Amino acid sequence: MAAEIHRRILLAESDLLLDDVETLRLSDESEAPLSLREAIRAMQIRLGRRNPPLPPATLDAAHDLVFAVQQRLMAANSKNPRPARHASRPSGQALFTVVREDRKWKVLSLPGPGADDAEWLELVESTVERAWDRWCYAQHQASRAARLHARPQVALAVARAAWNNYWLLLQDADRIKERLIASRGRLAGGTS
């Protein structure tokens, strides 16, 4: 129980750090301030990393590092015995898609079913929401790259990959919800 509380606290803290990163991005900052760097490093230490990497100097690096921490925290959910995995990939191994040149984008997948349908559905919805947030981030970066004439084609390709990942997850989540509703209806109809 204490481990689950610790995991949830770190997940909430990581959400706050992502908010800080996005606020700085909206102010057209590119460097991570010292306070943000140290907060990310402290979170990694509390997560159990003995030798965390150097604190991220840029907001891009800070964003990627906090997302990586969140993925570890979400995979450690004790109520989800089977971590998310992609077809043909071992459990816990991320799937990246090459969007353009040397740029990759991590593709999210929905968690497998757990013992409790309500908790599983909450995890599914959280994953879809995370994919939406990632698309919003990528879209913001694409518009920023276009304004600055800084490789806008690459940023647009990343935004498209993020959108495709979000859209496919949303459609899968809708199918899961429909199946759960239908199975509840069959169960309710069979017990009358």
Q: Determine if residue 101 is left, alpha or beta; phi over 0 gives left, psi from -120 to 50 gives alpha, anything else beta.
A: left
What does the alpha-carbon distance between residue 27 and residue 23 come to, in Å, rounded to a whole number?
Answer: 6
Check pLDDT > 70 for residue 85.
no
For residue 86, tell me if it sits in a domain.
no
Whether residue 102 sits in one domain with residue 125: yes
Pick from 78, 103, 135: which residue ends a domain? 78
What digits encode the pLDDT tens for the residues 90-110?
434 456 777 766 677 788 888
Whether residue 67 sits in one domain with residue 100: no
Whether residue 135 sits in one domain with residue 55: no
For residue 23, tell me if it sits in a domain.
yes
Q: Which long-range contacts (CB under 8 A, 24 or more apart) does 179-183 make?
A: 180/117, 180/121
**Range from 18-22, 121-125, 144-148, 182-186 carrying the lowest mean pLDDT:** 182-186
SS3 105: strand
**Phi/psi of residue 123, each to 5°?**
-65, -40
Whether residue 71 sits in one domain with residue 97: no
**Range from 33-37, 52-56, 127-131 carrying the lowest mean pLDDT:** 52-56
Under DSSP, the state recorded for 58 is B
**Phi/psi of residue 38, each to 5°?**
-70, -35
Per-position DSSP letters for 1-17, written without gaps between them: -HHHHHHHHHHHHHHHH
Tokens of 143: 């518009």
Q: Which domain holds residue 173?
A: 93-192
- Domain count of the chain? 2
Whether residue 102 sits in one domain with residue 64: no
